[in-house]
């Protein structure tokens, strides 16, 4: 494993074999031939992945085209519009004053989203006032505090009411691999959908029922992805309502905690799945029916980096004695390290890991995920306690009534 970000060098220290320069590892990858695979988890190294593929390496992760789909939100929307999909009107800005003028002239609810793989999710904002007055205030605050580097890069997207759902699939360089995945993310920090937009605090996923949504949305990108050489997982987040399906944004990578939660429904190991992707023969992935529900486990000051070293870095990570081997397999650790035979928190932001539960129903998956979460013993451990409730109580019924789910 190679860790490119200096502040993250502590992650998995003492747990996996680490290398200081991934270029030095290319000879043995080359010598491994069909069994040699390079895996990226990033939407910022697509050009490098394209180069490696052109040099004959087998690479799973994305492509330069995939990077642009995720990082340039307006470009991603235009790609979808060109294929006949509904899109929310978006305006791109590199100046807060221009954005403020835009809202004052076109009063409505907007969603503020930063462009770029490294943009802070906590700065994103979903407008609440139909007058746009709260968005004007947010933009004004960002303008007053902006410290660069460079100009800001963001979009204002029309707010679309409805059910938020994601559809994703593995792409082998030529075609999407069945089955396709549906997911329901919970992005805010606190129970009850309060607090900051963190990226993700927990998710419900299933590999069943996605056919209709997939065919109308993500499937339309197959030829473009193949032309770009894309190989990896890709997800499209969207809003479903009575007017149709409205794509919002791409995630052109495995994503976290998504990969950990999806894994719980896989009936084959990651190495087998990676080989299916690099072979490019369209072979389906074996998955189980039902749902997986993952809960993100954090410590302060998540989702911020400021103060982490003083507050939470180096805390002990322990497990209740009743944790079973099956439960341990469903616990994915993230920012941890092994130090003198002790597992401790590491990294830079307080993302300890993901506790996942699996079941034939969302309720059963939820009960199992939270039973596991309570067996992770870390000082000041925090997580939401309502992951999946909205999906059970509202979203599934709404999507069924709208006719978007497979029977």
Residue 53 forms part of a structural domain: no
58: β partners: none
Domain that holds residue 129: 89-158
- Based on the fold, state whether residues 341 and 257 are members of the same structural domain: yes
pLDDT per residue as tens digits for the range 296-312: 999 999 999 999 999 99
- Based on the fold, state whether residues 130 and 187 are members of the same structural domain: no
> 137, 158, 179 — which closes off a domain?
158
- Based on the fold, state whether residues 344 and 205 are members of the same structural domain: yes
- CA distance readout (Å), 105 to 87, 97, 200: 21, 12, 33
| CA–CA gap between residue 141 and residue 138 (Å, rounded) | 5
Ramachandran assignment for 150, one of left (phi > 0), alpha (psi -120 to 50 degrees), beta (any other): left
Return per-residue pLDDT of the chain as tens, 407 residues: 999 888 899 999 999 999 999 999 999 999 999 999 999 998 889 999 999 999 999 999 999 999 999 999 889 999 999 999 999 999 999 999 999 999 999 999 999 998 876 677 778 899 999 999 999 999 999 999 988 788 899 999 999 999 999 999 999 999 999 999 999 999 999 999 999 999 899 999 999 999 999 999 999 999 999 999 999 999 999 999 999 999 999 999 999 899 999 999 999 999 999 999 999 999 999 999 999 999 999 999 999 999 999 999 999 999 999 999 999 999 999 999 999 999 999 999 999 999 999 999 999 999 999 999 999 999 999 999 999 999 999 999 999 999 999 98
- Based on the fold, state whether residues 224 and 134 are members of the same structural domain: no
Residue 225 forms part of a structural domain: yes
Residue 14 forms part of a structural domain: no
Closest Cα partner for 381 from 300, 323, 260, 322? 300
CATH number at residue 239: 3.30.470.20
- Based on the fold, state whether residues 141 and 180 are members of the same structural domain: no
Residue 42 forms part of a structural domain: no
pTM exceeds 0.95 for this model = no
- Based on the fold, state whether residues 142 and 173 are members of the same structural domain: no
* Tally of domains in the chain: 2
pLDDT at 300: 97
- Based on the fold, state whether residues 282 and 392 are members of the same structural domain: yes
> 124, 158, 192 — which closes off a domain?
158
- Based on the fold, state whether residues 218 and 127 are members of the same structural domain: no
Residue 12 forms part of a structural domain: no
Expressed in angstroms, the distance from the first to the final Cα of the chain is: 42
Residue with tokens 């990108």, as numbered in its chain: 221
Residue 51 forms part of a structural domain: no
> 140, 158, 176 — which closes off a domain?
158
pLDDT at 122: 77
pLDDT at 117: 66
- Based on the fold, state whether residues 213 and 361 are members of the same structural domain: yes
Length of the chain: 407
Residue 380 forms part of a structural domain: yes
- Based on the fold, state whether residues 248 and 116 are members of the same structural domain: no
CATH number at residue 129: 3.30.1490.20
- Based on the fold, state whether residues 318 and 354 are members of the same structural domain: yes
In contact, 112 and 139? CB cutoff 8 Å: yes
pLDDT at 118: 67
Residue 75 forms part of a structural domain: no
- Based on the fold, state whether residues 133 and 175 are members of the same structural domain: no
């Amino acid at each position: 494993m190679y860790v490119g970000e200096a502040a993250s060098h502590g992650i998995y220290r003492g747990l996996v074999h680490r290398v200081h320069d991934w270029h030095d590892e290319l000879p043995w990858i080359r010598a491994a031939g069909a069994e040699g695979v390079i895996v990226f988890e990033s939407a910022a190294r697509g050009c490098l992945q394209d180069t490696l593929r052109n040099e004959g390496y087998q690479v799973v992760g994305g492509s330069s085209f995939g990077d642009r789909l995720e990082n340039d939100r307006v470009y991603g929307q235009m790609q979808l519009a060109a294929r006949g999909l509904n899109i929310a009107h978006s305006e791109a800005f590199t100046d807060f004053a221009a954005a403020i003028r835009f809202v004052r002239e076109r009063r409505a609810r907007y969603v503020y989203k930063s462009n770029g793989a490294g943009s802070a999710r906590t700065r994103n904002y979903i407008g609440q006032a139909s007058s746009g007055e709260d968005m004007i205030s947010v933009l004004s605050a960002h303008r007053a505090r902006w410290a660069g580097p460079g100009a800001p890069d963001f979009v204002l997207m029309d707010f679309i009411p409805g059910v938020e759902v994601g559809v994703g699939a593995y792409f082998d360089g030529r075609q999407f691999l069945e089955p396709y995945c549906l997911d329901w993310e919970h992005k805010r920090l606190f129970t009850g959908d309060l607090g900051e937009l963190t990226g993700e605090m927990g998710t419900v996923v299933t590999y069943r029922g996605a056919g209709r949504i997939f065919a109308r949305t993500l499937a339309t990108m197959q030829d473009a992805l193949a032309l770009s050489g894309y190989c990896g997982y890709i997800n499209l987040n969207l809003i479903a309502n009575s007017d149709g399906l409205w794509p919002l944004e791409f995630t052109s990578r495995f994503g976290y905690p998504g990969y950990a939660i999806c894994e719980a429904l896989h009936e084959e190991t990651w190495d087998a799945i990676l080989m299916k992707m690099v072979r490019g023969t369209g072979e389906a992935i074996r998955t189980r029916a039902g749902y997986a529900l993952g809960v993100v486990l954090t410590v302060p000051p998540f989702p911020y980096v400021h103060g982490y070293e003083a507050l939470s870095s180096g805390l002990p990570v322990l497990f209740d004695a009743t944790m079973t081997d099956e439960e341990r397999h469903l616990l994915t650790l993230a920012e941890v390290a092994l130090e003198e035979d002790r597992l401790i928190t590491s990294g830079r932001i307080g993302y300890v890991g993901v506790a996942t539960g699996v079941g034939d129903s969302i309720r059963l998956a939820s009960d199992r995920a939270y039973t596991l979460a309570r067996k992770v013993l870390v000082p000041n451990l925090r997580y939401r306690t309502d992951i999946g409730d909205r999906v059970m109580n509202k979203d599934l019924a709404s999507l069924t009534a709208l006719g978007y789910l497979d029977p």
